[in-house]
């Protein structure tokens, strides 16, 4: 089962300085944060702000290529969450041919969906996993054989929204963070909102 979501806002995690896009369902009852790269954040921000650039971005190029080929994006889907990483695909319809499923990073899929007017769908189990994942203990491999713990992204995002007291430690519970995120108003994350 999938839930249709939209880009609710774009912000920067003040502790890791990583951009973060927040997806919410139409009722605002479900939300997920996805940490993204700076280039992808810029692509999403230009679309949110309605900025027209002199030259096409890679996401604009994809839109143009699809149009020239007579294809269109039916929807994008975020279909899995494993080890703190979201996985997505773009569903492309072609005339007189079966639809194509193209693997993509969620940030690129979202940027393309925004440019093509396609729906953003998130698997219900991904939303459930995002509510229960412990973002405090994500590991990455810096060099072969060396593991480095990343910052507590859940706590950082909660503090960025001014919702979590570090003294009380409530941000240390992933479920509490998810509940806070889902209850946020549109103004909680600053100027980039849809």
At 64, list the tokens.
């143009």
How high is the pLDDT of residue 182?
54
Chain centroid, CA 12 distance in Å:
12
Confidence at residue 154, expressed as pLDDT on a 0 to 100 scale? 41
Q: Alpha-carbon distance 84 to 87, whole Å?
A: 10
**Residue 102, token pair as written in the block:** 């193209």
**Contact criterion met (CB below 8 Å) for 7 and 106:** no
pLDDT tens-place values along the chain, 194 residues long: 899 999 998 998 877 788 999 999 988 688 898 999 999 999 999 999 999 889 989 999 999 999 999 999 999 999 999 988 999 999 999 988 999 999 999 999 999 999 999 999 999 999 988 876 544 444 444 445 443 434 444 443 333 333 332 333 444 444 544 555 555 555 555 554 44
In sequence order, what are the beta bridge partners of 9? 22, 193
Write down the pLDDT at residue 27: 82
DSSP per residue, 117-150: T-EEEEEHHHHHHHHH--GGG-EEEEETTEEEEP
Which of helix, strand or coil describes residue 106? helix
Domain ranges for the chain, please list them: 2-131
Nearest CA among 125, 86, 128, 93 for reference residue 109: 86
The CATH homologous superfamily for domain 2-131 is Bifunctional nuclease domain (3.10.690.10)
What's the pLDDT at 153?
43
CA 49, CA 105: separation in Å to the nearest integer?
22
> Which sign does the torsion angle of CA 180, 136, 82, 106 carry?
positive
**Number of Cβ atoms within 10 Å of the Cβ of 123:** 17
Burial category of 15 from C-beta neighbours within 10 Å (exposed 0-12, middle 13-18, buried 19 and up) = middle
At 179 the pLDDT is 54
Separation between Cα atoms, residue 77 and residue 99, nearest integer Å: 14
How many Å apart are CA 107 and CA 143, to the nearest integer?
A: 25
Backbone φ and ψ of 32, nearest 5°:
-140, 140
Is-contact 90 73, C-beta < 8 A?
yes
Structure tokens that stand for 134 in this block: 């412990």
pLDDT value for 117: 95
């Amino acid at each position: 089962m999938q839930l249709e979501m939209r880009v609710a806002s774009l912000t920067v995690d003040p502790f890791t300085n990583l951009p973060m896009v927040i997806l919410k369902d139409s009722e605002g009852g479900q939300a997920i944060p996805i940490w993204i790269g700076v280039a992808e954040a810029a692509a999403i921000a230009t679309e949110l702000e309605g900025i027209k650039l002199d030259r096409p971005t890679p996401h604009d190029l994809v839109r143009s290529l699809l149009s020239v080929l007579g294809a269109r994006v039916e929807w994008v889907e975020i279909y899995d969450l494993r080890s703190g990483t979201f996985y997505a695909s773009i569903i492309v319809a072609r005339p007189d041919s079966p639809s194509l499923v193209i693997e993509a990073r969620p940030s690129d899929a979202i940027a393309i969906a925004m440019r093509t007017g396609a729906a953003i769908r998130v698997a219900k189990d991904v939303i459930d996993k995002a509510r229960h994942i412990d973002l405090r203990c994500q590991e990455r491999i810096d060099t072969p054989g060396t593991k480095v713990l990343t910052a507590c992204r859940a706590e950082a995002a909660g503090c960025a929204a001014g919702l979590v007291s570090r003294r009380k430690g409530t941000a240390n519970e992933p479920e509490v963070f998810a509940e806070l995120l889902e209850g946020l108003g549109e103004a909680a994350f600053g100027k980039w909102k849809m």
